[in-house]
Amino acid sequence: MIRVLGYKRIAILMFLVAVNVIFAALLYLYLVPELKSTERDMRKAKAAESAVRNDIANIQTEFSQLEMQQERFEGLKADGFFSNQSRRDAQAVFTAAKAYSGVTEAVVSVKSGVVVEDQDAAKAEQVLLESPVSIEFTGVDDADIFEYINYLEQVFPGYLSVEKMSLSRNANISDTMLRAIAAGRNPPLVSGSISMVWRTMVSRDDYLNAPADQEGALR
């Protein structure tokens, strides 16, 4: 075989084999670790990018929540939630609700407000006031009573929540009743009662220095 190939060709082949071995060694000793290092760096970069994206998403979520909380705060403020409970203002709303709804009678009782212990309010130097409200009313139709309640929920200063409600029909529609209604006498066909709670939140100083017509004033 040596005679066929010759010593020169064998030497060249041996040289090429040696070169391939050297390249293989370089590939194994340098390029492969370098490739693994590059892959690790790429994984770290992707992880860092993912973390940044998550942080951005969290910031966007928190910002949206803050905007919603701000809108909620502004809405409560516009509704008079952050103010003392003025009996004079409340009476004006009750009178307007009766005229708006058409109920024949509405006897309203607003009891003295009490300070409800609330840790979050205390931290902000605020106090939460709650006043029980009871209403006895009569009307020609139960729709008038629901209109009355809806008006209070929309217009009343602060937050007014319904705790208990009852309705009853006093009489059925008859020719006599229809003639009375047509004559404008509005017989009380329906009667009912409702228990509500009036809530507001004010600063402790405003609560202590409230005028006499506002709940929380020192009397």
Burial state string for 182-215 with b = 16 or more CB within 10 A and e = fewer than 16 = eeeebbebbbbebebebbbbbeeeebeebeeebb
**Phi/psi of residue 174, each to 5°?**
-135, 175
* Higher per-residue confidence, 5 vs 171: 171
Residue 201 binned pLDDT confidence (cut-offs 50, 70, 90): confident
Output the CA–CA distances (angstroms, integers) from residue 88 to 42, 64, 85, 92, 128, in the order listed. 70, 38, 9, 6, 20
Residue 151 binned pLDDT confidence (cut-offs 50, 70, 90): very high
Give me the pLDDT at residue 218, please: 27
